[in-house]
Amino acid sequence: MSNTIELALDGLSCGHCVKRVKESLEQRPDVERADVTIEHASVTTTAPADALIETVKQAGYDATLAHPKANPLTESSTPSEALTAAQPELPAANNADDDDSRQLLINGMSCASCVSRVQNALQGVAGVTQARVNLAERTALVMGHASAADLIAAVEKAGYGAEAIDDDAERRERQQQTAQAAMKRFRWQAALALAVGIPVMIWGMFGDNMMVTDANRSLWLVIGFITLGVMIFAGGHFYTSAWKSLRNRSATMDTLVALGTGAAWLYSMSVNLWPQHFPMEARHLYYEASAMIIGLINLGHMLEARARQRSSKALERLLDLTPPVARVVTPEGEKSVPLAEVTPGMTLRLTTGDRVPVDGDITDGEGWFDEAMLTGEPVPQQKAAGDAIHAGTVVQDGSVLFRAAAVGNHTTLSRIIRMVRQAQSSKPEIGKLADRISAVFVPVVVLIALFSGAVWYFAGPAPQIVYTLVIVTTVLIIACPCALGLATPMSIISGVGRAAEFGVLVRDADALQRASDVDTLVFDKTGTLTEGKPQVAAIATTGDITEADALRLAAAL
């Protein structure tokens, strides 16, 4: 006889994982049906639970026997169901958080090759079930039970920097400070490099042919040392990063920049110092190329940092839905305390206009609550003693006392924020393909550059050394995989963040990619499509009544 067995799943991160577990279970002859989400499986079967758990493990994931839980936010396959369902019981919410997810701020990443190295380093730490590294936000979302010290040590060993900050407000502040500092640094570095590169390029094009002669040799030598200063002060981070990568036996975008600009400057300085060793046609200088390349790439980094800040504002708006303080009712009277000090069981007061600080149940009074940010329902809901209320919703009218039930990371709003953050850090299949390409991209580009240079050196026209240098430098610089590594994460952050701003939650990037094939969208109620705030679109009057009179009478009513 068939019965339904509930399993708690661990290690799943996207729709592909869900599909794999579902197919593995349904391939068993003793399984009639399997309903699978990221954290839960409900299996109708004649098989024992141990056999099902073993099947899940063979698919590459973990499972334990569980009882049905009322935790719609994490287990419903449809976000709208999750947010309109009843408030989950506190124990279920707490259990969902037993598996820690920790967010790290990463320093020093510049391309998709860096992402691959950091991700592999984090996934190699004992206790980590999954790591998602986001190049666009310079963050890593790590799931599992590893300590922050072990994670930071793994990142530093890979040649990068990391910070672990548990407090959301502090992390946001630190992230904003880092982003602002990076943007300012890239701005002045780009300005310095372009201030040198552009005049030299214009002078070389229209005033001089950039060839060394006895008359201009000293002037070009001065320009060469000025360019060296630009490379040190405005482009030093490229060479430092390239050296760290070399020590870790890897190559990144910075490796290409360092090789290209370094080769151009060294060749130019050699020509400048010892022109007699070069044929007349080979005495061309490339100082402006080194300065321009450093300036333009720094300018690109600055624009990227600015776009990154804009795209993360939507998540910040969600975080801002929680008020910083709450009014706690004590035997001595009411007092305002920081939100971090509110614990389950405390009694809190809400009045008209207040935003609910934590999840809880009303014990006294009644009021009308605007829950549109949770349910999409524009009409305020009347709540009285015994009804559940949620953090982030607003009291439109009334005054109530309520008992705190879920606080901190256990509130419905916190789980929504966690869902958005995980979605922003997830990768669709096209993003994973880009990462796989980027992992081998830089070494392949270096080989192509050397091969191309060798062809021009041995088979090209004279002066071969000039053509060789130009070809090698061109390949190294133009092949920088910035766009390859940034296009997907930047679009995901912007898309998911903008959707969250309008109340649409995306579970992962795979869902976003699959949504591009959707041709029909069916809504279960009109409240999700309208604002619920009627507005006067037109005024029609008859007789002697003017529009002004009609408005005055309507306002009086």
- Residue pair 73/89 in contact by the 8 Å Cβ criterion: no
Measured distance CA(70)–CA(552) in Å, rounded: 51
Spatial distance between the Cα atoms of 446 and 180, rounded to a whole number of angstroms: 33
Residue ranges with strand state E in 111-189: 128-134, 139-144, 161-164
Give DSSP secondary structure letters for 88-123: PPHHHHHHHTSS-EEEEEEES--SHHHHHHHHHHHH
Neighbours of 362 (CB within 10 A): 21
Helix (H, G, I), strand (E, B) or coil at 420: helix
Residues tagged active-site: 524
Reading the block at residue 260, the tokens are 């290209």
Burial of residue 277 (CB within 10 Å: 0-12, 13-18, 19+) is: exposed
Alpha-carbon separation of residue 388 from 87, 391, 393, 528 (angstroms): 7, 10, 11, 21
Mapping DSSP onto H, E and C, the string for 396-408 reads EEEEEEEEEEECH
Q: Which of 63, 477, 84 is nearest to 257 (CA)?
A: 477
The two three-digit tokens of residue 223, written as one number: 């320009």
Q: Rounded to an integer, what distance in angstroms lies between the CA atom of residue 508 and that of residue 59?
A: 20
User: CA-to-CA distance for 265 and 276, rounded, in angstroms?
Assistant: 18
Answer whether 468's CB lies under 8 Å from 283's CB.
Answer: no
Q: Angle at the Cα of 169 (from 150 to 10), degrees rounded to 5?
A: 50
Main-chain phi, psi angles of 465, to 5 degrees? -65, -35
CA 474 to chain centre: 32
Does residue 550 contact residue 539 with C-beta atoms inside 8 Å?
A: yes
Contact 109, 118 (CB under 8 A): yes
Nearest to 13 by CA among 108, 205, 142: 142
* Cis, bond preceding 463 (omega within 30 deg of 0): yes
According to DSSP, residue 284 is labeled B
CB within 8 Å of 433: residues ≥ 6 apart: none
If DSSP states are collapsed to H, E and C, what string results for 67-94? Answer: CCCCCHHHHCCCHHHHHHCCCCCHHHHH
Q: Please tell me whether residue 431 adopts helix, strand or coil conformation.
A: helix
